[in-house]
Structure formats: C-alpha cells, structure tokens
Amino acid sequence: MDLDFWWLLVIPVAFALGWMAARYDLKTLLSESANLPRSYFRGLNFLLNEQPDQAIDAFIEVVKLDPETIELHFALGNLFRRRGETDRAIRVHQNLLSRADLPVTERDHALFELGQDFLKAGLLDRAEETFRSLKSGDYAMGAQRALLTIYEIEKDWIKSIDTARQLETMGSGSLEKEVAQFHCELAQEALQQKNAEEARRQLGLALKANPQSVRATILFGDVDAAGGAQEAAIAQWLRVEEQNPAYLPLVAEKLLKAYQALGRGDEGADLMTTWIDRYPSNDLLDVAYQHVAALRGPDAAHALARAQMQKSPNLSGMTRLLEAQESTAEEPRRSELELMRTLIRQRTKNLPRYTCQNCGFRARLFYWQCPGCSGWETYAPRRVEPITASN
C-alpha cells in the first residue's frame, strides 16, 4: 500500500518537471529566434520554395547586418558555387579567411570551400595551392582527394600516384586499381615516345599494384607486338581470359592479326570460335565473322552467326546472320535480305555501345576512365543491347 502511495506522488512530480523543462527550452528557442534578422527567415522560406535567387539576396542582407554569422557565410558560398557564380563564392570564402578571430577548424573549412571554388572555376593552380595547405585536420583527406582530381585532370600521373599513396596512409582504403591505371597511362606515354623499356617498367609496376589489371596485360602485348615479338604478344593477350573473360573483345582483333602474321590464321579462327561458344558475345562475333568468312568461306561464317543467334538473340547478331544468308541467297531473296539488314543496321548504328556502371554515361568507344564521372574501369567491355539502349 505504501509503495502505491509513493508512485501516486512521483508521477505528477515527473510531469511537472518535464513541463518546466519544455517551457524553458521553448523560451530559449524564442529568445534566440528573436535575435535573428527577419531576412534569415525570408531566405529559408525562399529556399524551401526553390527560389534560390531570392534566397541569396536575403542571406546577403543577413550577412551585412550580422557579419558574425559564419555558418551563413558557408551556406551562401555553397549556393553561389552551385549556381556557377564562382567569383562570388570565392569572395565570400576569402572574406571569411580575412577575419583574424576565425577558429582553426572554421579556417580549415573556409580553405577547403575556397579550394572547391577555384576547382569549379577551372583555376587549377590556385586550387592546388589551397588544398596543399590543408595538411592536417578534418579536411585534410578531402583536400587530398581534390588534389587527386586535379592531377588526373592535368594528366600528371606521377603526382597522381603519390597522392593516391598518401590517401591510403590516411585511411582512405585501397587505391591499387587507380594506381595501376596511372602506371598504365605512363606506359602509354612511353609507347608513344617509342620507349619500350620505360613502358615495360611502368606496366610491371601496374601489375605489382594490381595483378588483375587487364589493361596492363593488354599493353604488355602491345609492347611485344610493336617490337615484332608476335608469339610473346599472343601469350600476353591470352592471359586476359584468366583475368577477366569480359575483356576478350578488346584483344580479339589483335590476336587474329598476330596469328595471321605468323601464318596461323586457322588457329586464330579456332580460338575465336571456341571463345564465342564459351562466352557468347556480339563483339567477339563482329571480330571473328569477317576473318572466318575470308578464311573458311560464307558457310562457315553463316554457321558461326547462326550459333550465336541461337544462344543470344539480338539485333546486332541478327545483322550478321542476315549478312551470312545474303551472301548465299539468290534473287529476289537476296534483295529482301539486304533490305532487312540495312534497316536493322540503320536502327542500331547510332546507338551508344558502352555504358558506365557508375554514372550511366554512354559512349560508342570504350574508355578506361569514364568521361562523365572520371571513374576508372567503370565501363563494362560489352556493348549495350540495342533494344535495351533505346528504351
């Protein structure tokens, strides 16, 4: 009975304490709100109504009335940058940095935002200088990532490698895939300068960073082929099947030319037929079709196209099948087949072939680095099915 009596006293006391605390918080909130200029609330209202121009004007008025509003400076600078008004964003953040009483954390934040302004404006040298000043603190890793972006834009692959390694030591996670790509870029530059020794050195470093780098393997074969070592080139390109069979279309034509140069065209045709059977692909079929037709005749090419269509029916494969049937048909059947093939080819020729798996950017050429999002190895080395691509 005594316990029940005390519970009856505790409940109303707890309720009263909660009511008093709520009243105190409400008074505090109202007091703080009363100190904010009316322009601040007008700016928020404009933002909520998706009226950025009016919001910016309102926030500028707030900053003029109360220069101590640091967070509002950041919000205003970001609004300017997103609208492409980078000169105004730069002035806002430089104005913050000119304050002698700015705390260290806020100074780093302002430097980081200023670097983003310079980067957005295309002032890469000034952006680099700004980001390099952020060597420690909460914004150091973000600054290093921005520096990596700058060096990739400038194609300064040596600095890109150093920056990627620095990011790894800061705890960003593995960047071995990117480092391997940077070494491959250096190898390609060496190849253009006909420096095979340097190209091999860079490709060795690429494979050391990422043993599964298909691009490095392909380039190793290119170096061998350029030096006349066709056997060694074939051995390199055949390794792609072990690394990732999806990339076989990128080496199919290279392999066929190497086999032909060695007088082993039949061996190359057999290899293509095996690959098409094992890894059905229109890209492989396109490469192999002309070679098989020239080497073994239209009937063999027809059989190859028909087998591919039975496994993976699509418009691209249908074009090859119609071409094969057309070569052996008689009039008027040949004219009908030619008309059908022409219509399908016109339907598919302008469609994008490759799609970035990161941002969805589509292109007719294969890229190791996406032109849209700058991601590495984000393109699947397989052409988009035309019907799907048109939807």
Residue 258's CATH number: 1.25.40
| Residues 234 and 296 grouped into a single domain | no
309 domain-assigned:
yes
| Residues 257 and 312 grouped into a single domain | yes
**Mean pLDDT computed over 316-338:** 64
**pLDDT band at residue 193 using 50, 70 and 90 as cut-offs:** very high
358 domain-assigned:
yes
Q: Is 359 known to sit in a ligand binding site?
A: yes
| Residues 241 and 264 grouped into a single domain | no
Phi-psi region of 354 (alpha: psi -120 to 50; beta: other; left: phi over 0): beta
Contact call for residues 26 and 18 (beta carbons, < 8 A): no
58 domain-assigned:
no
Is 80 exceeded by the pLDDT of residue 5?
no
| Residues 267 and 180 grouped into a single domain | no
Is 50 exceeded by the pLDDT of residue 41?
no
Share the mean pLDDT of the chain: 78
Is 50 exceeded by the pLDDT of residue 26?
no
Query: What's residue 288's pLDDT?
Result: 80
Query: What's residue 54's pLDDT?
Result: 62
Residue-wise pLDDT tens digits, 96-117: 888 787 789 889 999 999 999 9
Query: What's residue 385's pLDDT?
Result: 52
109 domain-assigned:
no
Q: What is the pTM of this model?
A: 0.74
Query: What's residue 127's pLDDT?
Result: 95
Structural domain harbouring 390? 351-391
| Residues 256 and 345 grouped into a single domain | yes
**Mean pLDDT computed over 219-246:** 94
| Residues 379 and 298 grouped into a single domain | no
Q: Is 184 known to sit in a ligand binding site?
A: no
Query: What's residue 337's pLDDT?
Result: 60
Query: What's residue 388's pLDDT?
Result: 43
CATH at 188: 1.25.40.10
User: What is the number of domains present in the chain?
Assistant: 4
| Residues 358 and 370 grouped into a single domain | yes
> In the listed set 199, 223, 247, which residue is the last one of a domain according to the structure?
247
CB-hemisphere CA count at 13 Å for 314? 18
Locate 162 and state its tokens: 């150093």
**pLDDT band at residue 309 using 50, 70 and 90 as cut-offs:** low
129 domain-assigned:
no
Percent of the chain past pLDDT 90, that is, above it, reads 39
Is 90 exceeded by the pLDDT of residue 322?
no
Residue-wise pLDDT tens digits, 106-152: 899 999 999 999 999 999 999 999 999 999 999 999 999 999 999 99
277 domain-assigned:
yes
